[in-house]
Amino acid sequence: MTGTDSRLRADRLQAFRAAIAGIACSDDPALLEAKSRDYAWYSPVLQVLLDGKRGELVVRPTTEEEVIRVAAACARQRLPLTVRGGGTGNYGQCVPLEGGVILDITGLDRVLEVQPGSVLCEAGILILELERAVHAHPAVPGGQELLMYPSTRDIATIGGFIAGGYGGTGTVRNGILKDPGNVSLIRVVTLEEEPRVIELHGADIQKVHHAFGTNGIITRLRLALKPAVDWVHHIALYPSYAGALRFGCQATEAIGTTLDAFLITAVDRRFAPYYESEFGHRFPPDGDAVFAMVNPACLGRWRELMRQHGGRETMALTEPELKAQGLSPAFECAWNHTTLMALRQDKSWTNLQTVYPWVPGQGIDIDLVQRQMDRYGDEVVMHHEFGRNADGCVSFGLPLVSYFGKERLYEIIREHEADGCLVFDNHVYTIEDGGMKTIDTAQIDFKKVADPHGLMNPGKTRGWLPAYARP
């Protein structure tokens, strides 16, 4: 920024602060540093690209009316705005590339209505608190539960999950966030001089889902619920990783008919040292593990299938039982938490996000996984998640990869693509270069409506061109 530009920016920030008087606001450097980061440090590539990027003010509204005042003030002063929930995104989604205002949404944390089958809530509520509220609510005897949550359930917000997430724990039973009916209402505040409140229903929800907060500030959501199940957190060990995968494929195909589970995760035995201090004999390095959350009503059939594949059970506990023993829930051994387990002890790892083709009735090509294991040796350590989406069953690879530089990382990515795996590149920060692959024109058209000046999380979508911005 030139001297003139920075004086102009300082004037704008001052005018912004005056316009939002009464709403919590801070320029404390330590807070700005903390609120400008997420979990992009998983990727050494992103670490370099995002180094030094920082917001200039943090605001924390507590009502939708206050969000509207912040949005209006940002639009009038043409200040960039980045919405932040729990800050657990892996791709720098809430790292402000062009400074400006960070809107901490966690003050909007109310549950507004619980009915049999659905909940209406504010976007900044922690998913853990939302889950507790729907479980305790008397709308359904025995309580209800969310259809899915990220493995960061305890520290992520529901709005951040919808704006930045994909699926996770629960996906093997209920599909991904995008599937019809899982989210039935999203309410957004637009970033205009006179902000509007827009409610999106049905397929229109996709205009905002996974848009990284680039096209409207989500204030409320309605989500589907199901009757609560007291899931059994389960670990079984298999004689080979291929055996663990075979079990996973067969169990996943049986979900909804003979089996019921909320999580199925296969973890290569080479992860065991990273689990040792917590899980000890439950995951020693002489077996490949399947972490699962199993409906107690079908535990007998689960164990039968496990034994058919040569598995042996090392843990079967409910969440309160785990807590009493100081153990983490199975979902914190899954999804991106598996990589976190390794990174806590060894920062030389990074990971990949891949999808393996699924043949109905058979599952993924386990020989292909074996060939990949032979090809990479200890450079790549395997981890597969099992899930489903509107099209059927699916398996996501989340392997650990030793980081030997960007060139080698992309060589491994290209080899996975040549193997027929789809790679959701987690070493980039734009929506399109990651999972989306193409520009979602419906999201960009909605951005023209909800963020006509192009101020929201600038730089995160390649589909937005400066020429689109209203002066």
Ligand X SMILES: Cc1cc2nc3c(=O)[nH]c(=O)nc-3n(C[C@H](O)[C@H](O)[C@H](O)COP(=O)(O)OP(=O)(O)OC[C@H]3O[C@@H](n4cnc5c(N)ncnc54)[C@H](O)[C@@H]3O)c2cc1C
Burial class of residue 14 (count of CB atoms within 10 Å of its CB; 0-12, 13-18, 19+): exposed
Select the span of 16-24, 144-152, 237-245, 346-354 touching ligand X (CB under 6 A).
144-152
Residues sharing a CB contact under 8 Å with residue 93, sequence separation 6 or more, in sequence order: 38, 163, 164, 212, 213, 429, 457, 460
Residue 382's nearest CA partner among 395, 393, 392 is 395
Cα 352 from Cα 127, distance rounded (Å): 25
With binding defined as CB under 6 A, does residue 338 bind ligand X? Answer: no
Give min distance, CB of 84 to ligand X, in A.
Answer: 5
Residue 315's nearest CA partner among 236, 427, 226, 205 is 236
With binding defined as CB under 6 A, does residue 426 bind ligand X? Answer: no
3-state DSSP call for residue 149? strand
- Considering only residues 9 through 68, tell me which ones interact with ligand X, judged by CB under 6 A: 38-39
Question: By the 8 A CB rule, do 95 and 429 touch?
Answer: yes
Out of 36, 43, 144, 157, name the contact with ligand X by CB under 6 A: 157
Question: By the 8 A CB rule, do 233 and 330 touch?
Answer: yes
With binding defined as CB under 6 A, does residue 337 bind ligand X? Answer: yes
- Considering only residues 296 through 335, tell me which ones interact with ligand X, judged by CB under 6 A: 335
Question: By the 8 A CB rule, do 263 and 330 touch?
Answer: yes
Give min distance, CB of 177 to ligand X, in A.
Answer: 7
Select the span of 50-58, 164-172, 314-322, 422-430 touching ligand X (CB under 6 A).
164-172
Long-range contacts made by residues 47-51, C-beta under 8 angstroms, separation at least 24? 49/92, 49/429, 50/92, 50/95, 50/97, 50/429
Tell me, residue by residue from 219 to 258, as one string, x for binding to ligand X by CB under 6 A and - for no binding.
----------------------------------------
Degrees to nearest 5, angle at CA 250 with 244 and 256? 130
Tell me, residue by residue from 74 to 113, as one string, x for binding to ligand X by CB under 6 A and - for no binding.
--------xxxxxxxxx--xx----------x--------
Out of 80, 143, 160, 363, name the contact with ligand X by CB under 6 A: 160
Give min distance, CB of 210 to ligand X, in A.
Answer: 9
Give min distance, CB of 163 to ligand X, in A.
Answer: 3
Q: Closer CB to ligand X, residue 295 or residue 336?
A: 336
- Site size toward ligand X (CB under 6 A) is 38
Q: Closer CB to ligand X, residue 416 or residue 447?
A: 447
Cα 74 from Cα 326, distance rounded (Å): 45
Residue 154's nearest CA partner among 127, 133, 190 is 127
**8-state DSSP, 316:** E
363: which strand partners?
Answer: 359
With binding defined as CB under 6 A, does residue 217 bind ligand X? Answer: yes
Degrees to nearest 5, angle at CA 117 with 113 and 122? 35
Burial class of residue 326 (count of CB atoms within 10 Å of its CB; 0-12, 13-18, 19+): exposed
Out of 58, 79, 114, 156, name the contact with ligand X by CB under 6 A: 156
With binding defined as CB under 6 A, does residue 340 bind ligand X? Answer: yes
Q: Closer CB to ligand X, residue 73 or residue 237?
A: 73
Q: Closer CB to ligand X, residue 212 or residue 262?
A: 212
Q: Closer CB to ligand X, residue 38 or residue 145?
A: 38
- Strand spans (E) along 51-95: 57-60, 81-84
Out of 275, 457, 458, 461, name the contact with ligand X by CB under 6 A: 457
With binding defined as CB under 6 A, does residue 198 bind ligand X? Answer: no
With binding defined as CB under 6 A, does residue 206 bind ligand X? Answer: no
Select the span of 145-153, 260-268, 342-350, 442-450 touching ligand X (CB under 6 A).
145-153
Q: Which tokens belong to 255?
A: 């979900």
Residue 9's nearest CA partner among 56, 64, 73, 61 is 56
Q: Closer CB to ligand X, residue 206 or residue 306?
A: 206
Cα end-to-end distance, the chain, whole Å: 20
Q: Which tokens belong to 354?
A: 């891949």
Select the span of 139-147, 213-221, 238-246, 262-270 touching ligand X (CB under 6 A).
213-221
Out of 159, 243, 248, 434, name the contact with ligand X by CB under 6 A: 159
With binding defined as CB under 6 A, does residue 147 bind ligand X? Answer: no
Contacts to ligand X by CB under 6 A:
38-39, 82-90, 93-94, 105, 123, 150-152, 156-157, 159-161, 163-168, 212-213, 217-218, 335-337, 340, 457
